[in-house]
């Protein structure tokens, strides 16, 4: 079956409008999917989905021992909830990080401004480093987004500012208190894999086993970890933009592998 429980719109750092992303899912034949924007549920406001099932989701940026860890949440409410206040705090931290990054870049001789970053963000509800990267590209200061990240926005770069988000333990707690299902995103990108065991002990429910950047060996490895810890498995493309997500939306999976997750969010 074709599913996708990890994708982004221009409400955070994707480039498609929510209805455009839905159209891309429909064209690809994705029967069940989630929009998981960073730190905002705005994409779901008034969203119409015909002929497919949508599982309301989010991706929460968290900080753990100096590293970024992303926690996905599913089956979440749109109204007032413990999650709403937590997301507002994360968005404020994102905006402050952007301001500091721009100030550092300007101090290093890169002529961008907060206004140019906001122009790249459009109607985004959550500002992120990709918007800073796009502003650098637009100004002709770097050739592409990848170069911006590698040379300027990652650790050691002139525009790098450490993240200061909630912890993954806090994210798991607030998702669960809001009635949702917390899942650890793209474990292949973790710097410290033992965090999976740590988080499973405090309420983590699932692991994103099926992910485009995971090799066959990694997929088998994370499948085994999920089985050992009793975690449900999910699958997601992490789609942001067709220019760098060349495989597009959708992940082909065995229905048996994701059925336990689907039963939780039914």
Give the tokens for residue 256: 């048996």
The two structure tokens encoding residue 147: 């170069």
Query: What does DSSP say about strands 53-54 and 32-33: parallel, antiparallel, or unpaired?
Result: parallel
- Residue 91 belongs to a domain: no
Q: Residue 127 contacts by C-beta under 8 Å, 6 or more apart in sequence?
A: 91, 94, 95, 98, 117, 118, 121
User: Could you tell me if residue 146 is inside a domain?
Assistant: no
CATH number of the domain enclosing 247? 3.20.20.140
234 belongs to a structural domain: yes
For residue 92, pLDDT over 90 is answered with no
Which pTM was predicted?
Answer: 0.86
For residue range 15-69, what is the model confidence (pLDDT) as tens digits? 999 999 999 999 999 999 999 999 999 999 989 887 789 999 999 989 888 778 9
Quote the number of domains for the chain.
1
Q: Is residue 160 part of a domain?
A: no
Residue 143 domain flag: no
Task: Give the pLDDT confidence of 109-125 residue by residue, as tens digits.
Answer: 999 999 999 888 876 78
**What band does 242 get if pLDDT is binned at 50, 70 and 90?**
confident
With beta carbons less than 8 A apart as the criterion, state whether 7 and 239 touch. yes
pLDDT for the residue 209: 98
Domain for residue 177, yes or no? yes
Model confidence over 177-206: pLDDT tens digits? 999 999 999 999 998 898 999 999 999 999
Other C-beta atoms closer than 10 Å to the C-beta of 97 total 21
Range with the poorest average pLDDT among 84-98, 139-153, 228-242: 84-98
Say what the pLDDT of residue 101 is: 96
CB neighbours of residue 193 within 10 Å: 12
Cite the beta strand spans of the chain per DSSP E. 2-4, 32-33, 53-54, 57-64, 67-74, 181-184, 206-210, 232-235, 251-252
The whole-number pLDDT of residue 192 equals: 86
41 inside domain: yes
Containing domain of residue 254, as a range? 2-86+167-264
Residue 113 lies in a domain: no
Residues 6+ away with beta carbon under 8 Å from 137: 143, 144, 145, 148
């Amino acid at each position: 079956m074709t599913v996708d429980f990890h994708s982004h719109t221009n409400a955070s750092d994707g480039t498609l409008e929510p209805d455009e992303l839905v159209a891309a899912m429909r064209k690809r034949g994705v029967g069940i999917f989630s929009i998981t924007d960073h730190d905002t549920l705005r994409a779901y406001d008034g969203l119409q989905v015909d002929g497919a099932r949508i599982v309301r989701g989010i991706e929460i940026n968290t900080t753990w021992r100096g590293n970024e860890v992303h926690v996905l949440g599913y089956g979440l409410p749109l109204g007032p909830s413990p999650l709403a206040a937590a997301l507002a705090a994360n968005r404020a931290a994102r905006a402050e990080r952007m301001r500091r990054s721009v100030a550092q870049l300007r101090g290093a001789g890169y002529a961008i401004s907060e206004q140019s970053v906001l122009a790249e963000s459009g109607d985004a509800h959550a500002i992120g480093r990709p918007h800073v990267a796009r502003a650098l590209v637009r100004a002709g200061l770097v050739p592409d987004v990848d170069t911006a990240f590698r040379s300027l926005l990652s650790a050691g770069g002139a525009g790098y500012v450490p993240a200061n988000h909630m912890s993954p333990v806090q994210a798991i707690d607030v998702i669960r208190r809001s009635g949702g299902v917390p899942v650890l995103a793209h474990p292949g990108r973790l710097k410290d894999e033992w965090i999976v065991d740590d988080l499973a002990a405090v309420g983590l429910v699932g692991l994103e086993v099926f992910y485009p950047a995971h090799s066959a060996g990694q997929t088998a490895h994370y499948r085994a970890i999920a089985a050992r810890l009793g975690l449900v498995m999910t699958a997601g493309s992490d789609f942001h933009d067709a220019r760098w997500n060349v495989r597009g939306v959708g992940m082909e999976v065995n229905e048996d592998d994701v059925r336990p997750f689907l039963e939780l969010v039914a």
